[in-house]
């Protein structure tokens, strides 16, 4: 049966099991939208901005583990997706972005709304395709989804010219694809796994350092089993939060620039680091020259280019983390006598870790008159569902959420880690809520970031997506202000946001509910009111204006050179 290219593309989405897309129509994708009008199997959500639509597809992907899909028209529609694509690329999120393009005969002629989106996104996509023949659509879409979800996941862009959408072809979707230049290694080498377990059982001060790859690789269960069996302390990056239960006694919490004192001290004094699905980025290592000076390093990652990129590695293992951890568990089971001796030998190490936890726990002092932002986060955790999905924007509130919310399940924290994208939280929560309409989804934002995509309140209301939006309002661009206070003699250049915005009226203008807390004794009441509403809600909390995120490792300092009080 012959179909036009637009319909073929939609049939490809159906074959891939796509049930939701986030898109914005325009001239070069109008044929896609005309065909979409009769496709009932795919839910289309119309954002109010293409960047938000791309973030929503990202949030959908992080929460579900499936490939998120976004559609945009050519020119400004395509360029508006770039920040969302780069956000997904930095955090290894599987997405397929479909952009319209001017007819193939006009490409390169500066036609109306023409941009070279392939060239623009070359550095922030895992791969990109320009479709020039309608007969190639099905194969290209199969490749796009395969590349996006396999190996180290990432965003893939498919640029579809208007004439290709109109052209006719027979539709046949391939069962599999063969890409000669792309063959990710998913199987960890057995000998390397044996060496890793031997190194681990010979260590006396081991730490498991866990990144976002564990959650993305659906390996949280294997990680938890291995860590609990060996009683090894576990620390996570921001992206790794939830992969190991923070309620577990062996959890050290988050490490790095705003990580826990115990986590950073454990890394500094460790004799063996098992890095799993992490990339040793600068926010984690601090000063590279002094990072983990006593430790041998085992690095497990599906992406070979991530290994040895930032730090020396004693034992690399390339493979899917779920596969490698499963093999490590089986290997550990073969050495039960050694494991018993190993665990007995960890007594002194556990005592050191417990001492660091007791010496400088992450804490704050709640005032009787001013709301501390940390108090709001703790109350949110206390009153929210156990399986609530939390999306954050970027800034101080992001770090307070990481420090105080306590994540115990994978895929429950959605946050822009690598790119640090303000404006991410609200639309990412929108995508997660679209995926899980019956789960509690909370967007935690600052007064700076929330305004970057506040227009998506309309999308939430229109699509009956009951996201609860928490705004920690200090009338500052808080994280930049903190740096200005600590390192620039309190010269608050362009970080003070004094214009009073009535978020309660704003919520009402969009047809949503809004609640405000200005005193500590109002916090719990506002949260309960917000959670009780069936639709989207804004909960605003007027918080201490100059509260800082601590501990903090200053830029260029070593992990053990933390600012604990200021």
Active site residue 50: yes
> What residues does 274 pair with on adjacent strands?
208, 298
- Cα–Cα distance for residue pair 113/486, rounded to 1 Å: 46
CA dihedral sign of residues 401, 402, 407, 413: positive
In angstroms, the CA 197 to CA 200 distance is: 5
CA distances from 218 to 226, 305, 328 (A): 14, 21, 16
Is there a catalytic annotation at residue 479? yes
Tokens encoding 292: 């983990």
Q: What is the CA 257 to chain-centroid distance, rounded?
A: 18
> Which residue is catalytic, options 126, 162, 379, 542?
162
The whole-angstrom separation of Cα 238 and Cα 259 is 9
Q: Which of 9, 479, 539, 552 is catalytic?
A: 479
d(CA 53, CA 46): 8
CA-CA distance, 391 to 411, in Å (whole number)? Answer: 10
Beta carbons within 8 Å of 403's beta carbon, 6+ residues apart: 253, 254, 258, 260, 362, 374, 377, 549
DSSP string, 96-151: EEEEEE--GGGTTTT-TT---HHHHTGGGSSEEEE---GGGHHHHHHHHHHHHHSS
Q: 35 catalytic, yes or no? A: no
Q: Are 270 and 297 in contact (CB under 8 A)?
A: no
Distance (Å, whole) CA 418 – CA 479: 16
**Dist CA 388 CA 491 (whole Å):** 39
Distance between CA 337 and CA 335 in Å, rounded?
Answer: 6
DSSP string, 160-205: EEHHHHHSEEE----S----TT-----S--HHHHHHHHHHHHH-SS
Active site annotation includes 112: yes
Listed residue (180, 154, 175) closest to 302, CA to CA: 154
The single residue of 15, 113, 529, 533 carrying the catalytic annotation is 113
Q: Which of 50, 222, 246, 456 is catalytic?
A: 50
Phi and psi torsions of 456, nearest 5° = -75, -5
Structural tokens at position 416: 């822009």
**H or E element at residue 504:** helix 503-509
Residues that are catalytic: 50, 112-113, 162, 479
């Amino acid at each position: 049966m012959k179909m036009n290219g637009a319909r073929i593309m939609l049939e490809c989405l159906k074959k891939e099991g796509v049930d939701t897309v986030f898109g914005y129509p325009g001239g070069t994708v109008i044929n896609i939208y005309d065909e979409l009008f009769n496709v009932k199997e795919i839910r289309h959500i119309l954002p109010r901005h293409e960047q938000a639509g791309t973030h929503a597809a990202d949030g959908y992907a992080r929460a579900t583990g499936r490939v998120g899909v976004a559609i945009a028209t050519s020119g400004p529609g395509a360029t508006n997706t770039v920040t969302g694509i780069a956000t997904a690329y930095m955090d290894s999120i599987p997405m397929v972005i479909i952009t319209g393009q001017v007819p193939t005969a006009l490409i390169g002629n500066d036609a109306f709304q023409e941009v070279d989106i392939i060239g623009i996104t070359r550095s922030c996509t895992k791969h990109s395709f320009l479709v020039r023949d309608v007969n190639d659509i099905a194969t290209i879409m199969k490749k796009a989804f395969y590349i996006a979800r396999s190996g180290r996941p990432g965003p893939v862009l498919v640029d579809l010219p208007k004439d290709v959408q109109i052209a006719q072809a027979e539709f046949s979707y391939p069962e599999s694809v063969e890409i000669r230049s792309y063959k990710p290694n998913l199987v960890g080498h057995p000998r390397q796994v044996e060496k890793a377990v031997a190194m681990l059982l010979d260590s006396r001060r081991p730490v498991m350092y866990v990144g976002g790859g564990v959650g993305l690789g659906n390996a949280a269960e294997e990680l938890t089993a291995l860590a609990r069996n060996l009683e090894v302390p576990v620390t996570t990056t921001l992206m790794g939060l939830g992969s190991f239960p923070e309620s577990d006694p062996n959890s050290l919490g988050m490490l790095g620039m705003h990580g826990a004192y115990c986590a950073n001290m454990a890394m500094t004094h460790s004799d063996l680091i098992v890095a799993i699905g992490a990339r040793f980025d600068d926010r984690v290592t601090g000063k590279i020259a002094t990072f983990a000076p006593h430790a041998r390093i085992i690095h497990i990652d599906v992406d070979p280019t991530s290994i040895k990129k930032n730090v020396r590695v004693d034992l690399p293992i390339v493979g899917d983390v779920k596969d490698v951890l499963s093999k490590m568990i089986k290997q550990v089971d073969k050495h039960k006598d050694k494991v018993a001796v190993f665990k007995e030998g960890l007594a002194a190490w556990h005592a050191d870790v417990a001492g660091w936890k007791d010496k400088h726990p992450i804490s704050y002092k709640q005032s009787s008159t001013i709301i501390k932002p940390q108090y709001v986060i703790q109350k949110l955790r206390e009153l929210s569902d156990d399986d609530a999905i939390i999306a954050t924007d970027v800034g101080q509130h992001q770090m307070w959420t990481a420090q105080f919310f306590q994540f115990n399940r994978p895929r429950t924290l959605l946050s822009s880690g690598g790119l640090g994208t303000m404006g991410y939280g609200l639309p990412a929560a929108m995508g997660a809520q679209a995926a899980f309409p019956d789960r509690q989804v909370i967007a935690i934002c600052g007064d700076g970031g929330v305004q970057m995509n506040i227009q998506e309140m309309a999308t939430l209301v229109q699509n009956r997506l009951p996201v609860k939006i928490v705004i920690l309002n200090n009338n500052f661009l808080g994280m930049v202000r903190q740096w200005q206070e600590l390192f620039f003699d309190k010269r608050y250049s362009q970080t003070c946001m004094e214009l009073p915005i009535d978020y309660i009226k704003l919520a009402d203008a969009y047809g949503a509910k809004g609640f405000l807390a200005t005193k500590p004794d109002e916090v719990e009441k506002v949260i309960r009111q917000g959670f009780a509403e069936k639709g989207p809600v804004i909960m605003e909390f007027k918080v201490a204006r100059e509260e800082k995120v601590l501990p903090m490792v200053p830029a260029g300092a070593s992990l053990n050179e933390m600012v604990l009080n200021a």
